[in-house]
Structure 1
Amino acid sequence: MPSAPDPNVIVNETGAQRLLGYVLDVGGSDKHGRCRLDITQDHLNRHNVLHGGITSCLLDTAAAATASLSVDDTGRAPFRSVSLSVNYIAPAKPGRVEATGQITGGGRTLLFVSGELRDASGDLIATSSGVYKRVSGGGL
């Protein structure tokens, strides 16, 4: 008998997620959102490494989920990116990468969240810092 899906692992929720194939994990007891991707040829740039835009997407997604976990144990409270800065440290080649977010400051409506993207061996690929705004009522 197949096991029930893990409610802490979000898959196929958005068009971007379906297109890129990443998995969002909001189940850690540490309240850090994690975004995993198994890099394939479809994710590479002309230099055969992970495209920088996808790197940014993974970091942004993990950071926004981390912000959400600060107010909602399901990690589904909406937060919008206000700003995001990414530092590219090393190239990522095909294999698994994981982005993790961590709240570094903020208040009731704005949170400062840092992120790290690491490959399966733990090597640092990229870092980020961003500002995330809690969205109420679906408006801007």
Structure 2
Amino acid sequence: MSTLIHDETGTQRLVGYVIEVGHEDGCARCWLDVDERHLNRHNVLHGGIATMLMDSASGATGSMTVDPSGLAPFLSVSLNVQFIAAGQPGRVTAIGKITGGGRSIKFISAELRHEDGTLIATSTGVFKRVPQEKLS
């Protein structure tokens, strides 16, 4: 059974995206209903927002490897993004997928797709687990 995480951070409240964790496939999803607030001056999804969605889905996917609730913190070490097509208004969803790594470092890829199936962007990244004692 999946769980929705919304309004957890200032960024989530500002942009309006939702993180979905708890899927049996171990992949977290991050979705956003794109409207005019999320578009760039060319009237397509801003690349920074597309990147943020894939980064968030990837971090939550890493988190699920140690915490099914998706709340264990993982930080981005590096993230490479490839833009494939222009993002249009409507729902877009980023899905993270573990591609390798060990206990504290994970290699995670993500895809961002429009609700019509169009692949908007892909990413590959390195994510690091943050030890609990570092959070205090």
* TM-score normalised by L of structure 1: 0.93
Q: What percentage of residue pairs aligned between the two structures are identical?
A: 57
User: RMSD across aligned C-alpha pairs, in angstroms?
Assistant: 1.4
Q: Please point out which of 115, 118, 123 is paired with 1:120.
A: 115
Q: Are residues 1:49 and 2:53 paired? A: no
Q: Is the 8 A contact 2:2 2:23 kept in 1?
A: no
Cα 1:7/1:87, change in 2 over 3 Å:
closer
Q: What one-letter code is carried by the residue in structure 1 that aligns with 2:40? A: N
Cα 1:91/1:45, change in 2 over 3 Å:
same
Query: 5 Å matches for 1:31-70?
Result: 31-70=26-65
In the TM superposition, structure 1's runs of 4+ consecutive aligned residues that sit over 4 Å from their partners are none
Describe the SS at the equivalent of 1:72: coil
Tell me how far 1:121 sits from its aligned partner: 1.1
Describe the SS at the equivalent of 2:19: strand
Q: Is the 8 A contact 2:22 2:64 kept in 1?
A: no
Cα 1:7/1:98, change in 2 over 3 Å:
closer
Q: Gapped runs of 5+ residues in structure 2?
A: none
Q: Are residues 1:75 and 2:70 paired? A: yes
In 2, Cα distance between the equivalents of 1:58 and 1:80?
Answer: 14
* TM-score normalised by L of structure 2: 0.96
Query: How many equivalent residue pairs?
Result: 135
Residue 86 of structure 2 corresponds to: 91
Describe the SS at the equivalent of 1:28: coil
